[in-house]
A = this chain, B = another copy of it.
Amino acid sequence: MSAASRFVRLVLGEYGERAELVDERPWERRPEFLAMNPAATLPVLVEGKGPPVVGGTVVAEYLDETRGAFQRERRLLAEQPNERAEIRRLTEWFLVKMDGEVTRYLVRERVFKLEMRTNEGGGSPDASAIRAARANLKNHMRYIGWLAESRNWLSGPKLSYADLAAASAVSILDYLGEVAWDEEPSAKEWYMRMKSRPSFRPFLAERVRGIPPVAHYAELDF
C-alpha cells in the first residue's frame, strides 16, 4: 500500500529483476530500519553489500544508472535532458504531490490505522481527511486522463517512469474502490494497458489482510 514501493517493484519488473520483498511498517520505527533510513520512509533498496538506496525517486535514478542505461529501447527514462526532466516532473507529481494530497491519506485512514496501536497513530478514521483526499483525487484522475489523451503514454511517446509512478498510486486507490472510472474514460484506457503488463501482475494477486479489493480490481478488462 505504498505507492513509491509499488513504483520500484514495477521498475524492477520491467527490467526483469527479481527482488526479495521485506514487509516493513514504518510507524513501528524499528531501530534497524531507522539505521538504514532515518527518514523512516519506504521504499529502501539494498543490493548485495552496498549501502541502502533510499526513497522512490532516488531508487529510480539508481536503477536507471545501473540497469536502464543498458536497456536501449526498454529504458524507462529518456536519453535527452528535457525529456528526462518531463518524466521526472511527472514521477515526482505522482509519488510526492498526489501521494501527499490523496494516496497517503486514504491509505492511512482506511488501512494503516487498523494496524497501528493508539500510540502509533491508530484509531478511527478521520472523516474530514478522507473527504479532502477524495476531492483531490478527482483532480488527479482528470490530470491523468488529460495526459493520456494528449500523449500516447503519460510523459510522451514511450512508456516511462511517469506511467509506472501513476499506475502505482492508481492501483492502490483502485484496490480501495476509490476511483470513479466512468468519469475518466481516457485514464481508464491507459490503466487497462498498464494492468496488462507482466510487471503489474503480482499486484493483482496481492490482498491486504481484512480488506478485500473492489470486485473489478484484478480484471484486465473492467
Contact = CB atoms under 8 A, between A and B. Distances in A.
Interface of A: 38-39, 50-51, 53-55, 57-59, 61-62, 65-66, 81-82, 84-86, 88-89, 92-93, 96-97, 143
Given A61-B85, A81-B62, A92 B51 contact: no
30 contacts: A38-B143, A39-B93, A39-B97, A51-B82, A51-B85, A51-B86, A53-B85, A54-B85, A54-B89, A55-B88, A55-B89, A57-B57, A57-B88, A57-B92, A58-B85, A58-B88, A58-B89, A58-B92, A59-B85, A61-B61, A61-B84, A61-B85, A61-B88, A62-B81, A62-B82, A62-B85, A65-B81, A65-B84, A66-B81, A96-B96
Contacts of A143: 38
Contact of A84 (B38, B62, B86, B92): B62
Max count, chain B CB within 10 A of own CB: residue among A51, A54, A81 = A81
A66 to B, nearest CB: 5
What's the dominant secondary structure at chain A's contact region?
helix
Contacts of A57: 57, 88, 92
Contacts of A93: 39
Contacts of A97: 39
A66 B80 CA distance: 10
Nearest to A41: B97
Nearest to A146: B38
A101 to B, nearest CB: 10
A92 B55 contact: yes
Contacts of A58: 85, 88-89, 92
Given A39-B93, A92-B58, A50 B82 contact: yes
Contacts of A92: 55, 57-58
The 10 closest A-B pairs by CB, nearest first: A65-B81, A58-B88, A53-B85, A54-B89, A62-B85, A66-B81, A62-B81, A58-B85, A58-B89, A50-B82
